[in-house]
Amino acid sequence: MTRPSSVKPNRLFQTSTMAALLDAVYDGEMTLEELVKHGDFGLGTFDALDGEMIVAEGEVRQFRSQGIASGTTGDMKTPFACVTYFEPEEIVTIDKPMNKEEFEGLVNKLIDNPNLFGAVRFTGELEAVDTRTVFCQHKPYPGMLEVVAKQPTFTMSNVSGVMLGFRTPPYMQGINVAGYHLHFLSDDRKHGGHVTDYRVKAGKLEVARMSDLEIALPRTKEFAEADLLPVGLHEAIQTAEGG
């Protein structure tokens, strides 16, 4: 997908906020057709929390309850998604196994600025990757912590694919997910989800710093009534989104 000249590369565009998702604002206003105008790389979820989303090379895939990926249509909507037109600034080859901490340490070193957002893409082989998906909810919506307590998780071993997403600086907790938020899509484009743990084996790591940000807040009644600064927000996001 070509980047419109009006949109800078590595500008983060996001719909709504993580705190809103945590407070069960699971219906958004933005269609996927609109979302992909703002980026061809990213992640998120779907209305009614119907699965995890990955946007890879402009294609939006949906991981539903079994971690199986399927195609999407432009009229589907998202309550929370982050996309960018990714243009790598740093590219390194990984030729020895690394666990999550080592991988994140390497990315931190490459970004070399804890107060910027980062976009991260690893393409290659993983010794193991643990993913989870969320599943479609019905009204009245339960809070996200209740949902993730029941979420299905999957482990894949010796799998090739793309693991991509964002690193959010700590002061943006609640707007987004502080720390790393990565989704995985296998090479056959059939499996993956929200990554909770992994061990990379060999491949290409690409990273970009992100200093431009656009947030589209919903004008819905649910968003208007949401509590976006609850006590324990940080711990709740770590439980809901952490590894």
At closest approach, how far in Å is the CB of 153 from Zn ion?
13
At closest approach, how far in Å is the CB of 2 from Zn ion?
27
Are 189 and 176 contacting, i.e. CB atoms less than 8 angstroms apart?
no
Are 22 and 143 contacting, i.e. CB atoms less than 8 angstroms apart?
yes
At closest approach, how far in Å is the CB of 165 from Zn ion?
7
**Which burial class, exposed, middle or buried, applies to 202 when counting CB atoms under 10 A from its CB (0-12, 13-18, 19+)?**
middle
- C-beta of 77 vs 194, nearer to Zn ion: 194
- C-beta of 177 vs 210, nearer to Zn ion: 177
Token pair for 233: 């927000």
Report how far apart, in Å, the C-alpha atoms of 26 and of each of 74, 101, 122 are.
18, 31, 29
At closest approach, how far in Å is the CB of 183 from Zn ion?
6
Give the C-alpha separation, 29 to 216, whole Å. Answer: 10
- C-beta of 66 vs 90, nearer to Zn ion: 66
At closest approach, how far in Å is the CB of 161 from Zn ion?
16
Residue nearest Zn ion, CB atom distance: 194
- C-beta of 59 vs 90, nearer to Zn ion: 59
Binding site for Zn ion (CB under 5 A): 194
Are 74 and 32 contacting, i.e. CB atoms less than 8 angstroms apart?
yes
- C-beta of 136 vs 224, nearer to Zn ion: 136
How far does the chain reach from its first CA to its final CA, in angstroms?
31
